[in-house]
Copies of this chain bind each other. A is one copy, B any other.
Amino acid sequence: MSMHETAPSQFVQVGDAEVAYRRFGRRGAPPLLLLNYFAANMDDWDPKITNGFAAVRDVIILDYPGIGLSSGTTPSTVAAMTRDFACFYRALDLTGFDIIGFSLGGMIAQQLAFEFPDMVRRIILLGTGPRGGEGMTFTELSVDELDDPESLVMLAFFTPSEASKAAGRAYLERLKLRAADRDERVTRHAAIAQLEAIREWGAIPSENRFAVLGNIRQPTLIVHGNKDVVVMPINAFLLAEHLPNAQLIMYPDASHGAQSQHAEIFLEHARLFLSN
């Protein structure tokens, strides 16, 4: 069975872009699509998580248009990214799939469930927040921080505790497990467009702040770190309050990389959720 480390990068034509993706795990099981975070390419998924799911599911990861190995242009709104993603799964002829969206990917997952409610079966939202959430315009974040990606991961994904820092170092080592057919680094230009999209998503609307959430009927699992310094934990609570059918799980001493720090229990929780 192919895995995170060995699955070949493949390409599919989506509009003007050749979109890169990798597909591995248990073919025939319902597809599980993973939507990535800000300035991340396919190599930035934690193999412990992707392989954990691949043991029981047909896992698909991708580079959004303009990111990593994908050609094309990175749009500057979540809505446009969502339309790109809809073209991607149509090009692969996928239906009845589940989605895991991490941070920016969780925004796209929400928008997808809202615009194309019949396509998605179940949703897992990792370290993300609702449109117009709390502190989600990221005014202090700059693409300059991407110049030292390992430092950024340690600061943003893990807490200052010894246990969390050790989990962070192990995580960084796991990201190197895939040796051949590596992805391309995300360009500054693409990161700037993604940041613009995130900020537009995070702006608080003048009315009906969380109205969209009431229309997302899919069973949803929200997973968050209780010390997330990127997307404040209160955003997970707001999602749980306003989504009609969402379970929230929050892990201790964990920041934006909560699902990697607590990977064993997260995989148990996610499998329970996906199989019920």
Max chain B C-beta neighbours (<10 A), residue from A237, A244, A253, A264: A237
Q: In the complex, are the beta carbons of B252 and A249 less than 8 A apart?
A: no
B252 and A243: CB pair below 8 A? Answer: yes
* A39: Cβ under 8 A from any B Cβ: no
A240/B265 contact (C-beta < 8 A), A247-B249, A248-B250 known: no
A265-B276, A272-B265 given; A245·B252 CB < 8 A: yes
* Bound Cα distance from A240 to B250, whole angstroms: 7
A233 within 8 A of B: yes
The answer to whether A11 has its CB under 8 Å from any CB of chain B is: no
Quote the shortest CB–CB distance from A134 to chain B (angstroms): 12
Task: Specify which chain B residues have a CB less than 8 angstroms from the CB of A265 in the assembled complex.
Answer: 247, 272, 276
Complex Cα gap A272–B237 (Å):
22
Number of copies: 2
Count, chain A residues at interface, CB 8 A: 23
Question: Which residues of the partner chain B approach A246 to less than 8 Å between Cβ atoms?
Answer: 226, 252
Question: A253 with B249: in contact, given A233-B237, A234-B237, A265-B272 (CB under 8 Å)?
Answer: no
Chain B residue nearest in CB terms to A250: B248
A97 within 8 Å of B (CB atoms): no
CB distance from A265 to the nearest CB of B (A): 6
A212 to B269, CA, bound (A): 29
- 95-135 of chain A: CB within 8 A of chain B: none
A251-B247 contact, Cβ under 8 Å, with A233-B237, A234-B237, A272-B268: yes
Q: Tell whether, in the assembled complex, residue A241 and residue B226 are in contact, meaning their CB atoms are under 8 Å apart.
A: yes
Tell me the bound Cα distance from A105 to B233 in angstroms.
Answer: 26
Minimum distance in angstroms from A125 CB to a CB of chain B = 13
CB distance from A113 to the nearest CB of B (A): 15
Q: Could you tell me if B237 and A245 are in contact, using CB atoms closer than 8 angstroms?
A: no
Q: Which residues does chain B contribute within 8 Å of A247, judged by CB atoms?
A: 249-252, 265
Q: How far is the CA of A246 from the CA of B264 in the complex (A)?
A: 16
State the Cβ distance, A272 to closest chain B Cβ, in Å. 6
Say yes or no: B233 contacts A241, CB within 8 Å.
yes
Q: How far is the CB of A30 from chain B (nearest CB, A)?
A: 20
**A211 CB → nearest B CB, Å:** 17
Question: Which residues in window 13-53 of A have CB below 8 A to B?
Answer: none
16 contacts between A and B (CB under 8 A): A226-B241, A226-B246, A233-B237, A233-B240, A234-B237, A240-B250, A240-B252, A243-B252, A244-B252, A244-B253, A247-B252, A247-B265, A248-B249, A265-B276, A268-B272, A269-B272
A residues whose Cβ falls under 8 Å from a Cβ of B:
226, 233-234, 237, 240-241, 243-253, 264-265, 268-269, 272, 276
